[in-house]
Amino acid sequence: MTLSEFEVDPDEWVRLGNEDKGVRILEGGKKLVQYDYDYYDGELLGFITNDWQKASKVIHHFLAKAKQITGDAFILWRLKLLIAAGGADVQGELRNMKDFEVKSRAAEPVADPLSS
């Protein structure tokens, strides 16, 4: 968006700033749409496999193939939140994207009631 477009729509910027949304996407022309912070989470989870892989690889694949992209720092932050919420297994230290590995959450084994 250019400076002149920003100056033409100051009320729009005030409205956007007052909404509690963390993701803004330009959808052609001047149409700016906002979404919640978790907008990319579902798609990001789709790049986590059943095998251990570096978080940097997951993030790289996401950025290369996602329909709507953002920066790697935002995706790293969302990945850490998904892990904290139990959305994926992790090994290593949750610092930089090269410091830890992720894989899909292991399914809990179901006990056979007849085996007791």
DSSP 98: T
CATH code of the domain made up of 38-107: 1.10.10
Render pLDDT for 28-71 as a digit per residue (tens, 0 to 9): 777 788 999 999 999 999 999 999 999 999 999 999 999 888 99
Q: Domain residue spans in the chain?
A: 1-35, 38-107
Average of per-residue pLDDT across 89-95: 95
Q: Residue 44 has what pLDDT?
A: 95
**What share of the chain has pLDDT > 70, as a percent?**
82
The full 3-state SS of 20-51, as one line of letters, equals CCCEEEECCCCCEEEECHHHHHHHHHCCCCCC
Q: Which residues, at least 6 apart from 54, have a Cβ–Cβ distance to it below 8 Å?
A: 97, 98, 100, 101
pLDDT at 18: 85
Report residue 2's pLDDT band, with 50, 70 and 90 as the boundaries: low
pLDDT value, residue 115: 53
Looking at the whole model, is its pTM more than 0.85?
Answer: no
What pLDDT shows up at residue 29?
Answer: 72
